[in-house]
């Protein structure tokens, strides 16, 4: 009960008592006025939210831990003003806000629209759906206040952020921060063979412009180089059901997704081709990119991936290997290598495919997990095995993967 309501109810009761004891018309009149005020205020508070429309808009595609703008637009489509509107928004799990999501609108007149904005950050990649928000409307005197849940559907896709590499494994090109702002560049063409010419595309370096062809065709034309298979990376991400260990932000799948995003980014900035194979509840998924501006398609898959596939790591690796040409570089990311994996790796090695297996230590993510030790079997099959502990430096571990292809 609000202070205003308590005061009005007390005053109304007092006037009723005075009217009955003194039988005075003035007290009866005041009692009637206060009673009418209570009834009118109650009715206004119940009707205030019916003419309101709420729309929520979020930044649809951002990287994790980067600012995400959330806009709440409230409009009064009724014939009467609405007073003391209180908007309380609720954010999904793993989303933090810079301020309290509680906003007060003193008055909203008929036909008026008002927008409130706040900033949020998603701590984890994924697809986020905002739940219903709560709106309360009060009568002009603030006696009654009613909270009503309002559905304002909004969805945001949060990408995993690739790690920028340094040292001898760095590649010319953008880092994740540059990609997020739309800056694109092409890597060095050293070691690449001349392939042909094509039309200029945003992100191509000006030094690649082929001026004779540009003058002849009256449009910008650039030199295209052939990319050898040694720069190509095929990432196979194990997403079998029951193979995600840990909880919250720190799970084996989340680390594997970040490793996959970083490997694919390295391939594209090195002028190579990037391929991604992963499982899903509907079957295996295959995605490819040959330019940095295609990296978003790969990140879109990684943002949505879950450990809900029926395919073990060996079956997924075999499925991906059937789509590859010889001399490709294959990196399997798994926290649960199965017994059939060595045989599949042996078959891929016979086809001259370089295979590296990043084995995430399931026990470091979940103390109750004890996967079988298969390092010796995988290495005997011809794979370079890179163990990855939960607290290990991911950049350093991935450098060991690169060393397998040097």
In this predicted model, what pLDDT tens digit does every residue of 152-171 receive, in sequence order? 888 999 999 998 765 444 44
172: confidence class by pLDDT, cuts 50, 70, 90: very low
Pure H helices in 128-251: 176-180, 211-217
How far apart, in whole angstroms, are the C-alpha atoms of residue 17 and residue 388? 79
Task: Report whether 203 contacts 293 (CB < 8 A).
Answer: yes
264: confidence class by pLDDT, cuts 50, 70, 90: very high
Q: For strand 126-129 and strand 82-88, is the pairing parallel, antiparallel, or unpaired?
A: unpaired
pLDDT digits (tens, 9 = 90+) for 103-150: 988 888 889 999 999 999 999 999 999 988 888 766 555 666 667 788
How many residues in total does the chain contain? 406
Q: Percent of the chain scored above 90 by pLDDT?
A: 42
Burial class (CB within 10 angstroms; exposed 0-12, middle 13-18, buried 19+) of 383: buried
For residue 107, give both structure tokens: 């008055």
Task: Report whether 233 contacts 227 (CB < 8 A).
Answer: no
> Is 83 a residue whose pLDDT tops 60?
yes
Give the mean model confidence (pLDDT) for residues 275-289: 94
Task: Report whether 2 contacts 143 (CB < 8 A).
Answer: yes
How far apart, in whole angstroms, are the C-alpha atoms of residue 122 and residue 321? 35
Pure H helices in 135-244: 176-180, 211-217
DSSP secondary structure of 140-160: TTS--EEEEEE----EEEEEP
Which of the given ranges, 7-21, 179-193, 258-272, 333-347, has the highest pLDDT on average?
A: 333-347
pLDDT digits (tens, 9 = 90+) for 366-390: 999 887 788 999 999 999 999 999 9
286: confidence class by pLDDT, cuts 50, 70, 90: very high
How far apart, in whole angstroms, are the C-alpha atoms of residue 285 and residue 133? 35
Contacts for 403 with CB less than 8 Å, ≥ 6 apart: 384
HSE, CB side, 13 Å, CA atoms: give it for residue 236.
Answer: 32
pLDDT digits (tens, 9 = 90+) for 196-206: 566 776 656 66
> Is 178 a residue whose pLDDT tops 60?
no
DSSP state of 355: E
Phi/psi of residue 56, each to 5°? Answer: -115, 135
DSSP state of 105: E
Q: What is the pLDDT of residue 370?
A: 81
Please give the model's pTM, rounded to 2 decimal places: 0.73
């Amino acid at each position: 009960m609000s202070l205003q309501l308590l005061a009005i109810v007390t005053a109304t009761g007092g006037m009723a008592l005075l009217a009955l004891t003194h039988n005075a018309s003035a007290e009866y009149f005041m009692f009637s006025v206060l009673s009418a005020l209570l009834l009118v205020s109650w009715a206004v508070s119940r009707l205030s939210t019916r003419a309101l429309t709420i729309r929520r808009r979020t930044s649809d595609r951002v990287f994790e831990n980067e600012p995400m703008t959330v806009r709440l637009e409230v409009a009064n489509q009724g014939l009467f003003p609405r007073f003391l509107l209180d908007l309380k928004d609720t954010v999904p799990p793993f989303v933090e806000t810079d301020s309290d999501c509680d906003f007060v609108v003193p008055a909203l007149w008929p036909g008026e629209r008002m927008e409130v904005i706040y900033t949020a950050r998603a701590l984890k990649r994924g697809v986020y759906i905002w739940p219903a928000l709560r709106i309360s409307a009060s009568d002009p005197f603030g006696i009654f206040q009613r909270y009503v849940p309002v559905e304002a559907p909004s969805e945001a896709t949060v990408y995993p952020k690739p790690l920028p590499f340094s040292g001898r494994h760095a590649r010319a090109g953008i880092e994740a921060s540059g990609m997020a702002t739309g800056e694109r560049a092409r890597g060095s063409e050293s070691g690449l063979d001349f392939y042909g010419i094509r039309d200029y595309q945003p992100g191509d370096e000006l030094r690649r412009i082929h001026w004779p062809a540009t003058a002849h065709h009256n449009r910008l034309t650039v030199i295209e180089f052939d990319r050898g298979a040694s720069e190509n990376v095929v990432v196979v991400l194990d997403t079998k059901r029951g193979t995600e260990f840990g909880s919250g932000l720190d799970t084996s799948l989340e680390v594997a997704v970040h490793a996959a995003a970083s490997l694919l980014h390295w391939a594209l900035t090195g002028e190579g081709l990037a391929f991604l194979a992963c499982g899903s509840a509907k079957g295996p998924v295959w995605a490819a990119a040959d330019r940095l501006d295609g990296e978003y398609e790969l990140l879109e898959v990684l943002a949505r991936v879950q450990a809900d596939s029926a395919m073990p790591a060996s079956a997924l690796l075999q499925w991906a290997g059937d789509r590859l040409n010889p001399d490709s570089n294959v990196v399997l990311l798994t926290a649960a290598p199965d017994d059939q994996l060595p045989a599949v790796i042996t078959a891929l090695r016979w086809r001259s495919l370089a295979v590296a297996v990043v084995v995430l230590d399931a026990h470091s993510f979940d103390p109750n997990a004890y996967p079988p030790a298969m390092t010796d079997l995988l290495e005997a099959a011809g794979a370079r095995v890179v163990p990855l502990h939960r607290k290990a430096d991911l950049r350093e571990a991935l450098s060991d993967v690169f060393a397998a292809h040097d």
